[in-house]
Chain A
Amino acid sequence: MLFAPVPVWASGVCAGLHTAGSRHVVYVPDNPLSHVLRKLRGDYTDVRTTLATREEEAFGIASGLYLGGVRPTVMLQSSGLGNSLNALTSLIVPYQIPMLIVISMRGDEGEWNAAQVPMGRAVRAICDAIGLPWAIAASPESTAETVQLVGQTAFGTRIPGVCLLPRRITVPPAKGVAR
């Protein structure tokens, strides 16, 4: 597992955020995102990564990075969006602090854990409600383009942008009979 190849979708996320000019990723990890982190650390030595204890804290750190002239990316699992709302609505949106937000989805197609479903189902409605544009990566091969475009739009318009990575991409369905 340690030497398993990095999935296409994860390499695409790295390429996309790098092309969008982001050089610092603040994150709270989840299982799929570990592939992105592995690729970043192996192949993108100019991208710094910082682990936050909580998603709201990650958004605070990313805001400080932007104030200092760095284009930040925040990576989190969809469950952490709930932890982030005060930072998003009372700092990042009103101060127009742009960042690229990459969300690894739970609770969508392929989910097995009922505790992940309510927030997973609510992610898009929450983003709409607080004024964050979002886009869904359509395939493993298109994550690079989607992440890049979301990032470019965010940093150009100063409106943070969200790229959703659905579970059917990050955790491909197992072949054979379902458990």
Chain B
Amino acid sequence: MTRLEATRALVTAIGDDAKTPIIASLGHPAYDLFAVRDRPANFYTWGSMGLASSIGLGLAMAQPDLRVFVLDGDGSLLMNLGSLATIGWVKPANLVVVVWDNGEYGTTGGQDTATKHGADLEAAARAMGFSATTTARTDAELSAALIRARTDAGPWMIVAKVQETAPAGKPPLDCVFIKQRFMAAIGHPEAGTS
């Protein structure tokens, strides 16, 4: 499956639940999420490569009643593998880390990542104490995993093997707009904005 098809499966699994947050890693994961469905509860990062799962962990601790989805890339997660250890320790049941694993740094020109040469991010998450892990190679496997991850206790690691495709859009560029729209959408508007 392509990353765009995988992104459609994610957005479909979340459905019309407008409060469910998705933290998107910078570059192509964020671009495809925007292209498939721009929604206020999408938090698009424009920098801080590697930190999507850390932002998701903080949000999951602050809001245990929200199911927090993180959309990461293999290259990005490899930049912050310590995050897996912290998530495995804290064990937020409401955190779902989804990794688009295309084996390459797609946003920067297609250089190989370590996952193309044997690194196994699902195994890493399991070793670090994630409660539920899986690797999806087809649309159907991914959709089935996402549906379980909406309700079953995490932390979840879903590694989806995807093919790189040119992204079809770009999210808003105003970082403060992204933040304030996001916080209002998940039910905790930033102080002084409402």
Specify the main secondary structure of chain B where it touches its partner: helix
Contact at A63–B51, with CB atoms within 8 Å? yes
Give Cα A52 to B82, complex, Å: 8
A61 touches B175 (CB 8 A): no
Chain A residue with the shortest CB-CB distance to B43: A67
Query: Which residues on A sit within 8 Å (CB–CB) of B48?
Result: 60, 86-87, 90-91
Residue of B nearest to A89 (CB): B47
By CB atoms of chain A within 10 A, which of B50, B53, B58 has the most?
B58
Q: Is the CB of B63 within 8 A of A68?
A: yes
Within 35-74 of A, Cβ neighbours of B (below 8 Å) are at 48, 50-54, 56-57, 59-70, 72
A18 adjacent to chain B (CB < 8 Å): no
Q: Is the CB of A67 within 8 A of B85?
A: no
Count B interface residues, CB 8 Å.
38
Task: State in angstroms the CA–CA spacing of A119 and B30 once bound together.
Answer: 34
Residues of chain B within 8 A (CB-CB) of A24 are 61-62
* Closest beta carbon of chain B to A52's beta carbon, Å: 6
Between B63, B86, B175, B176, the greatest number of chain A beta carbons within 10 A of the residue's beta carbon is seen for B86
Distance of B45 from chain A, by nearest CB (Å): 7
Q: Does B97 contact A (CB under 8 A)?
A: no
Q: Spot the interface stretch: A8-16, A94-102, A132-140, A160-168.
A: A94-102
- Known pairs A63-B54, A64-B62, A86-B49; list 18 more (Cβ under 8 Å): A24-B61, A51-B89, A57-B54, A60-B51, A64-B54, A64-B58, A64-B60, A64-B61, A65-B58, A65-B62, A66-B58, A67-B62, A68-B63, A68-B186, A87-B48, A91-B55, A94-B47, A96-B176
Question: Which chain A residues have a beta carbon within 8 Å of chain B's beta carbons?
Answer: 24, 26, 48, 50-54, 56-57, 59-70, 72, 86-87, 89-91, 94-97, 155
